[in-house]
Each structure stands twice: as structure tokens, then as C-alpha cells.
Amino acid sequence: MIVRHLADIIGSERDVKAENGNWESRRLILNNDAVGFSLHDTIIHAGTETLLWYKYHIEAVYCIEGEGEVETTADGKIYPIKAGSVYLLNGMERHMLRATKTMRMVCVFNPPVTGTEVHDADGAYRPGAEVKA
Ligand code: 9YT
């Protein structure tokens, strides 16, 4: 069994910040834990707009704090997000995430993120190099 606390992740190499400052992702479980998914506690800062397109991953996003919206860019549909909302990107949807109030999201990625990915120009995480446990 693995036991961790968010306090141990914050400020460590598992605490990843977006280059544009829009979000911060605290990676609680990663690829090298070898369980088939990764689990992130992510902060989306108020007033930000982030284009994301996970072409190689499925992501579930559960909002536990804050408010905003997610727009699927292919059809312009806008879904309001608040604490208790969950969205599941089960179709590799390109989407725009906007926070009106700072949002805290619990994110699950399959396949798991290794921790080394960076968003490319499309907002996708390229599959990262395998990290040995
Ligand atoms: C909700 C979302 O996709 N935010 C971008 C960061 C990503 N979730 C991550 O790496 O935790």
C-alpha cells in the first residue's frame, strides 16, 4: 500500500505548474506507481482560460471547489462547472476550461501521466517516457 499526503507533494517535483501560470497540478499517483491511472489534485486559477486537448489520454475531472465552465470547441457547447460537477473526456474532446472562481479539481488520467509531459501547441500531453519505479 502507498500512503501520501498533499502536504508532502506541494513544493516537490510532483507539484507541476503550467508555464502560463493558469494551473498547478499536484500529482498524487503517477505512472511509476504502476496502477494504470494517475490522480492529480489540480488548481485552476480564477480568471484563466486554458485550451486542452488530451489526444492520448482519457481524463475524468471532478470539481470540489470553485466555479467555471468547460466548452467543447467542436460544437461550442458550454457546461457550467461548480463543486460537485464531474466531466469525463471519453472522446478525446478538444476543450476550453475557464475559471471564474479558482477551481480545485480531482483529475484521473488513463493512461497514467508520468509527470514529465508538457502541453504541446494543441494542449495535448504527449505520451511521456516511461519512468521506472
Ligand atoms: C483540468 C485539467 O485538465 N487541467 C490541466 C492540468 C491537468 N489536469 C493535470 O496535469 O493535472
CATH number of the domain within which 46 lies:
2.60.120.10
How confident is the model over 71-90, as pLDDT tens digits?
A: 999 999 999 999 999 999 99
Which residue has the CA at smallest separation from atom 9 of ligand 1? 25
Inside any domain, residue 68: yes
| Angle (nearest 5°) at CA 47 between 41 and 52 | 55
Burial of 132 (0-12, 13-18, 19+ CB in 10 A): exposed
Inside any domain, residue 118: no
CA distances from 42 to 16, 39, 70, 74, 115 (A): 9, 9, 15, 25, 13
Grouping H, G, I as helix, E, B as strand and the rest as coil, residue 7 is helix
Confidence of residue 115 (pLDDT cuts 50, 70, 90): confident
Inside any domain, residue 129: no
Residue 11: what residue type? G
Q: How far is the CA of 42 from the centre of ligand 1 (A)?
A: 6
Q: Which of 38, 41, 49, 59 for a ligand 1 pocket mutation test, highest count of atoms within 8 Å of Cβ?
A: 59
How confident is the model over 22-54, as pLDDT tens digits?
A: 999 999 999 999 999 999 999 999 999 999 999
Q: How many structural domains are present in the chain? A: 1
Residue 17: domain span: 6-110
Does 22 sit in the ligand 1 pocket, CB within 6 Å?
no
